[in-house]
Amino acid sequence: MTRRSVLIAPSILSADFARLAEEVARVEAGGADLLHIDVMDGHFVPNLTVGPPIVEALRKVTKLPLDVHLMMTNPDSLIPEFAEAGADYLTVHVETCPHLHRTIQSIKERGVKAGVTLNPATSLSSVEEIIPDADLLLVMSVNPGFGGQHFIASVLEKVSRARQLIDRTGSRAALEVDGGVKVENAARIIQAGADILVSGSAIFSSSDYGATIKAMRQAVRKAMPGAGAAAARR
């Protein structure tokens, strides 16, 4: 089955923050399509990471689209700052947004693509009403908060149903999967229907970022020849 080209988004959560600009330059040179930035507030998830200043700094050193994932209890309060900092995508959790349509509208009004995220145990039904308005649907394949976790295999069936929902509704949302993504399971995730693979430790813990990204593309090409053809030509 031929679908849209699959994209790879290295997650800077696993990068060396003492050399962040260099790390970003390496994945960009290695063929990354987007840069995934996890924003954690220490409340919704048990970790504390970066804020708008880091996004603004990254915007100055890379041409890659900035895929900013807001793991926050109150994302609405910082949407203006992250949009101004240079985010290309702002993705919020359905678990923290009681007025999700309003939140998505607020993101889009600032010229930023809007995404919605589901934790592993959150039902896909929670996004049925918003999916026609979303630019991105992010399915978490680990419980968010820390990098380096193992992929939850049962999420694959959820990814498959998410693909069906997007296609059935005619939504233009890209389907992204984040958590425990590596070369060894990339094929199964793509076969389930993903468009974007977020990978942190698998890339940043390797000695050659470009080689790891290339290996993921090769796995994609073998799994879905139609989906991987464009990526393989990079």
161-184 pLDDT tens trace: 999 999 999 999 999 999 999 999
Q: Which of 33, 67, 178, 195 is catalytic?
A: 178
Q: Is 88 a catalytic residue?
A: no
Q: How far apart are CA 141 and CA 143, in angstroms?
A: 7
For the stretch 97-151, pLDDT in tens is 999 999 999 999 999 999 999 999 999 999 999 999 999 999 999 987 777 789 9
Asked if residue 233 has pLDDT above 80, the reply is: no
Contact call for residues 78 and 70 (beta carbons, < 8 A): yes
Contact call for residues 163 and 126 (beta carbons, < 8 A): no
Q: Which of 33, 38, 67, 195 is catalytic?
A: 38
Q: Which domains does the chain have, with CATH numbers?
A: 7-232 (3.20.20.70)
